[in-house]
Chain A
């Protein structure tokens, strides 16, 4: 075989350099942040600055709190390489419990919400681990189970919370709860063994087990924690809306999934997850939703655009080498 030496064209060299620059992992890590800035800029221009008005920022923030809190828990689940579709139904159930208990005392209501979420999460984790059923199947089942229960409990009338609870609907309280949740999770994830263990399970469960990680126990704990954290989000939700209808938390699980993926979280989990995925993802997703509404687009068209963007981001970020089956 003869090898012919073709002189490289300057343009080809330039594009090759460009390509290698953009596929550098350190550069790739900034993609989500660039996406966030891009989306803010685009919508600022298209809405003629309305999206950066104080009113609109407050509106977006009010949606940020529950979503960002719940994303924190699901972030850990997805780091494992698992998925959790039961979050919406957890919001529904926990909100009902919070509302019902709010007539006795607020701390009791908070505790009740958290315990309800944790109990559903524990149920998910145990079924997933004990019967070796993939988590997305288990959580889709629990989603329908608890959605049904929510619908049953709210058949006659919405479950109302104590009216005075809405007095707690203040930005500083919600901000405090959100930041607190993020901070605690951040410390656990970044500065304890938990983070390394979760990433290891996501990257290679078998090898993690052989390295001494208690994989089953860790999974159960993470699903429980995800439920617990969503229980906190439920309290923030009740404070905001005051009463719970059967549709509370509807589609919340997809919102979480979309937010995390838009934030750059690889859907296969593993070593490439970053804590910043939660914050950036939540902001991108909500600015996008609100921006589309402000543009006055038709609801159907909004969904179409979101679908296209979601697909594009997944196609760009997915790690095809390490993607096996979602656990």
Chain B
């Protein structure tokens, strides 16, 4: 198989300061099943989105059979023979199964400007039956089907026209064993047909078993492409995570500053559909990490501790017996929260830096409920400068700031509030290296001052680098607990995540 089919040359994409795909070049042969693996945020999905035109390229190009691809959206991609089954829900509610399958390709059923629905339904049913999904009725609304069936419908939608290249982005997680078997069969048939598949999955054994070659991405860069029959899961994990850690970046010590004093007691916390029966203690001066796959419930746990979850059961109790039920309780008792969804939940983007910093502390700054502008200004300037936020003045709107500076504003407001417990969800998400280092240094500093931090992160390196203890969550429950030690490595942790 030497004839080059699909080529990516120097493909590059940045989102603001995040370099999502960093000058990647690779070749895929005709009739090859290529695995694409890497950690969260390593650029797998972005790479595929570039290939099928969901995002535009910053530079570089794709060629298929020697012709450069110029694609601006998915319908165009389909016409050029590229198709994708996306990670998220790719079907549209409110349409029938048949309408979903032929979305963007309705032209073939249109006669004299009128859509021939019966013909479309017939055709769709024929396809479903041919795939062996006879239990799905093409005329029903998509809303009648659960997640797995919708994924199956999406598979039909993405492959019925026999595309040259099919991208399967993390689809198997949504499928049961039976659905997976169907998908593997389809992949084999496609390969036998001389067409190509790009297969993305977190399940490494599945990747090794069902692909010919595997490309590994890390931090947007292509690390290596290996033959699937010549590697083990451990080899792949090493390729995925094996970066040379910059020792200055994280904490260097392995002694905990935490005593036995428990600052926060979480008991039996449940949020229906998200987390189940979570209990733990947070000690004074401790950085407690939560890790896992992004859907494991750890993000919801942060909200639950902060009193922001709807319909939470169980108790969150502070030292001294105060129970946290709602956000104002949490804030007035010195708990701070920085959300993963920074622009919507952490910060008011269409508002000034001053108002953002002052907002939680307004009560403390008031004299008999009256606020003085000068005092507010002084407070905001002090804390913005304390965090060295790059700004023109405090009246500047937060929407003008970079991700890192936004996060600095978030931290500035909570430092201003003198919070004792900080719940930081993905605190360095989408932030450049320098600000990351600042944030790690700040966390280390706060820890030594006797403040406690709950750090939730999808990046294992930073959990390993910063935390006194790490709890790994899986399917909404705590699956494992690790203590800080030089011997602890990512492989041990990944096993508990998957």
Given contacts A192-B366, A193-B362, contact A203 B308 (CB under 8 A): no
A172 contacts B by Cβ under 8 Å = no
- Quick one: which of B344, B356, B371 contacts A192, CB cutoff 8 A? B371
A197 to B359 CA separation, bound complex (whole angstroms)? 7
B205 contacts A by Cβ under 8 Å = no
Question: What residues of B have a CB within 8 angstroms of the CB of A191 in the complex?
Answer: 370-372
Q: How far is the CB of B474 from chain A (nearest CB, A)?
A: 27
A212 to B327 CA separation, bound complex (whole angstroms)? 6
Those 3 A-B pairs whose CB atoms lie nearest each other, nearest first? A204-B348, A212-B331, A193-B362
Q: A200-B355, A200-B359, A211-B360 provided; 7 other pairs, C-beta below 8 A? A: A191-B371, A192-B371, A199-B351, A204-B344, A204-B349, A210-B345, A212-B331
A35 to B218 CA separation, bound complex (whole angstroms)? 57
A208 to B369 CA separation, bound complex (whole angstroms)? 19
A271 contacts B by Cβ under 8 Å = yes
Given contacts A321-B399, A322-B350, contact A207 B355 (CB under 8 A): no
Q: Which of B336-368 contact A (CB under 8 A)?
A: 337, 339, 344-352, 355-356, 358-360, 362-363, 366
A213 to B366 CA separation, bound complex (whole angstroms)? 16
The answer to whether B350 and A208 have CB atoms under 8 Å apart is no
A212 to B363 CA separation, bound complex (whole angstroms)? 11
A319 to B399 CA separation, bound complex (whole angstroms)? 13
A270 to B350 CA separation, bound complex (whole angstroms)? 8
The answer to whether B331 and A204 have CB atoms under 8 Å apart is no
Q: How far is the CB of B36 from chain A (nearest CB, A)?
A: 31
Binding site for B on A (CB under 8 A): 191-193, 196-197, 199-200, 203-204, 206-214, 270-271, 319, 321-322
A211 to B398 CA separation, bound complex (whole angstroms)? 15
What residue of chain B has the Cβ atom nearest to residue A187's Cβ? B370
B328 contacts A by Cβ under 8 Å = yes
Q: What are 10 pairs between A and B in contact, CB < 8 Å?
A: A191-B370, A193-B362, A203-B348, A207-B344, A208-B348, A208-B359, A211-B348, A211-B360, A212-B360, A270-B350
The answer to whether B346 and A207 have CB atoms under 8 Å apart is yes
Q: Mark B367-381, 1 if CB is under 8 A from A, else 0.
A: 001111000000000
Question: What residues of B have a CB within 8 angstroms of the CB of A206 in the complex?
Answer: 344-345
A271 to B371 CA separation, bound complex (whole angstroms)? 17
Q: How far is the CB of A273 from chain B (nearest CB, A)?
A: 11
Q: How far is the CB of B362 from chain A (nearest CB, A)?
A: 4
Question: What residues of A have a CB within 8 angstroms of the CB of B347 in the complex?
Answer: 204, 207
Q: Which of B285-311 contact A (CB under 8 A)?
A: 306, 308
The answer to whether B351 and A203 have CB atoms under 8 Å apart is yes
A191 to B337 CA separation, bound complex (whole angstroms)? 27
Q: Which of B151-168 contact A (CB under 8 A)?
A: none
Given contacts A200-B355, A212-B360, contact A271 B350 (CB under 8 A): yes
The answer to whether B350 and A213 have CB atoms under 8 Å apart is no
The answer to whether B351 and A271 have CB atoms under 8 Å apart is yes
A208 to B327 CA separation, bound complex (whole angstroms)? 11
**Which of B346, B359, B397 has the most chain A CB atoms closer than 10 A to its own CB?**
B359
A192 to B328 CA separation, bound complex (whole angstroms)? 18
Question: What residues of A have a CB within 8 angstroms of the CB of B345 in the complex?
Answer: 206-207, 210
Q: How far is the CB of A29 from chain B (nearest CB, A)?
A: 12
Q: How far is the CB of A131 from chain B (nearest CB, A)?
A: 16
Question: What residues of A have a CB within 8 angstroms of the CB of B369 in the complex?
Answer: 192-193
Question: What residues of A have a CB within 8 angstroms of the CB of B355 in the complex?
Answer: 196, 199-200, 271
- Quick one: which of B359, B370, B397 contacts A212, CB cutoff 8 A? B359
A13 to B263 CA separation, bound complex (whole angstroms)? 61
A198 to B400 CA separation, bound complex (whole angstroms)? 22
Question: What residues of A have a CB within 8 angstroms of the CB of B346 in the complex?
Answer: 207, 210
The answer to whether A193 and B350 have CB atoms under 8 Å apart is no
A55 to B339 CA separation, bound complex (whole angstroms)? 60
Q: Which of B240-282 contact A (CB under 8 A)?
A: none
Question: What residues of A have a CB within 8 angstroms of the CB of B397 in the complex?
Answer: 271
- Quick one: which of B337, B356, B366 contacts A193, CB cutoff 8 A? B366
Question: What residues of B have a CB within 8 angstroms of the CB of A208 in the complex?
Answer: 348, 359
Q: How far is the CB of A213 from chain B (nearest CB, A)?
A: 7
Question: What residues of A have a CB within 8 angstroms of the CB of B363 in the complex?
Answer: 193
- Quick one: which of B330, B350, B370 contacts A204, CB cutoff 8 A? B350
Question: What residues of B have a CB within 8 angstroms of the CB of A213 in the complex?
Answer: 359
Question: What residues of B have a CB within 8 angstroms of the CB of A210 in the complex?
Answer: 306, 308, 327, 337, 339, 345-346
Given contacts A196-B355, A207-B345, contact A321 B362 (CB under 8 A): no
**Which of A192, A200, A210, A322 has the most chain B CB atoms closer than 10 A to its own CB?**
A210
Given contacts A203-B350, A214-B328, A271-B355, contact A196 B362 (CB under 8 A): yes
A194 to B308 CA separation, bound complex (whole angstroms)? 22
The answer to whether A209 and B371 have CB atoms under 8 Å apart is no
- Quick one: which of A193, A199, A212, A270 contacts B328, CB cutoff 8 A? A212
Q: Which of B187-243 contact A (CB under 8 A)?
A: none
A107 to B344 CA separation, bound complex (whole angstroms)? 47
Given contacts A211-B359, A321-B399, contact A270 B351 (CB under 8 A): yes
Given contacts A196-B359, A196-B362, A200-B355, contact A207 B371 (CB under 8 A): no
